[in-house]
């Protein structure tokens, strides 16, 4: 069996929002059961042990260097010890400065699939800030390109607050350039669910309908991305699913659902021809 890496991202809708006790209990139970190797959490209290309660023991946890006034922010947790490589301050314009923990946190971790750079990317959330999200994606991608030579793989996780047709997400996936720069990252969801909208912020969810953006349509805004070289992604997506996209016992865990993906070393590495002689038929 090929070596694999399980990664997960989820916005947990922190304790300032309704029904935190039941929601956090459900979230924690689910996260511990999934037992991901790498976890990116958003809108979570970054101090006081909440992350450790949600994930269980055995993780190395690094929060973003800034949090909101109520202590809520983003964290990146890994089963194997990680080294913080860089944090990009993504408050790139004057109007983006009102979001304290707008950042991209990059860590390096030795995993079963090799040395891996993991970026937890959290750009601006405001609906009309796509110009900022473009700049933020560009800054994050340029940072990762500069650092990529130290790693076998690069994975980007996060609540990107942008849909597949947004310029920032087209850029990440190699479908457009920005300011003379182009990259290509494989979208884990699209790889295994082509044509499925895969909504992660869904108007069916009563927490969405009761929240601050109740008039919004459902969107896919939570992402797992795998960096590609010239011949394609270095890791194969073998599984990808939404997490807590339905109520459990009448409880919706968050206004977002999470995304979990299993990534494996491919049997047929990019840039090589298959070595088996039996794959061609006449």
Q: Which of 182, 92, 80 is nearest to 133 (CA)?
A: 92
Distance CA 122, CA 137 (A): 9
Q: What separation in angstroms does the CA of 65 have from each of 95, 102, 261?
A: 20, 10, 26
pLDDT at 167: 98
Is the predicted pLDDT of residue 247 greater than 60, yes or no? yes
pLDDT at 212: 86
Distance CA 127, CA 170 (A): 17
Here the tokens at position 152 are 């076998």
For residues 147 and 274, which has the higher predicted lDDT (pLDDT)? 147
**Phi and psi dihedrals of 228, rounded to 5?**
-110, 145
Distance CA 154, CA 47 (A): 27
pLDDT at 215: 83
pTM, whole model, 2 decimals? 0.95
Domain 4-264, architecture per CATH: 4-Layer Sandwich (3.60)
Q: Which of 277, 5, 256, 282 is nearest to 117 (CA)?
A: 5
Q: What separation in angstroms does the CA of 225 have from each of 43, 118, 157, 252?
A: 20, 10, 6, 26
Distance CA 159, CA 120 (A): 9
pLDDT at 270: 87
Q: Which of 157, 151, 165 is nearest to 122 (CA)?
A: 157
Q: What separation in angstroms does the CA of 217 have from each of 153, 199, 209, 268?
A: 34, 10, 10, 40
| 110, burial (CB in 10 Å: exposed 0-12, middle 13-18, buried 19+) | middle
Find where tokens 């790693």 sit. Answer: 151
Quick check: 251 and 19 in contact, CB under 8 A? yes
pLDDT tens, position by position, 267-278: 888 888 876 555
pLDDT at 269: 81
């Amino acid at each position: 069996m090929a070596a694999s890496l399980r990664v997960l991202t989820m916005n947990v809708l922190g304790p300032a929002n309704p029904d935190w006790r039941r929601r956090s209990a459900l979230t924690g139970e689910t996260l511990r059961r999934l037992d991901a190797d790498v976890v990116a959490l958003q809108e979570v209290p970054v101090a006081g042990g909440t992350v450790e309660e949600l994930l269980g023991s055995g993780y190395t946890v690094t929060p973003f260097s800034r949090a909101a006034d109520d202590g809520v922010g983003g964290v990146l947790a890994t089963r194997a010890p990680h080294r913080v490589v860089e944090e990009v301050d993504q408050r790139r314009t004057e109007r983006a400065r009102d979001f304290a923990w707008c950042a991209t946190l990059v860590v390096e971790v030795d995993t079963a699939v090799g040395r891996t750079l993991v970026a937890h990317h959290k750009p601006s959330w405001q609906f009309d800030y796509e110009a900022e999200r473009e700049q933020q994606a560009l800054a994050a991608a340029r940072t990762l390109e500069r650092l990529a030579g130290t790693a076998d793989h690069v994975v980007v996780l996060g609540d990107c607050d942008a849909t597949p047709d947004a310029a920032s997400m087209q850029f990440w996936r190699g479908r457009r350039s920005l300011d003379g720069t182009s990259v290509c990252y494989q979208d884990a969801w699209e790889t295994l669910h082509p044509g499925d909208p895969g909504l992660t912020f869904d108007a069916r969810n009563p927490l969405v309908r009761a929240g601050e953006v109740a008039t919004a349509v459902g969107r896919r805004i939570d992402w797992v991305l795998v960096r590609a070289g010239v011949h394609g992604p270095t890791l194969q997506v073998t599984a990808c699913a939404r997490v807590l996209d339905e109520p459990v016992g009448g409880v919706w865990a968050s206004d977002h659902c999470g995304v979990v993906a299993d990534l494996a070393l491919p049997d047929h590495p990019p840039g090589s021809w298959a070595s088996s002689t039996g794959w061609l038929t006449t």
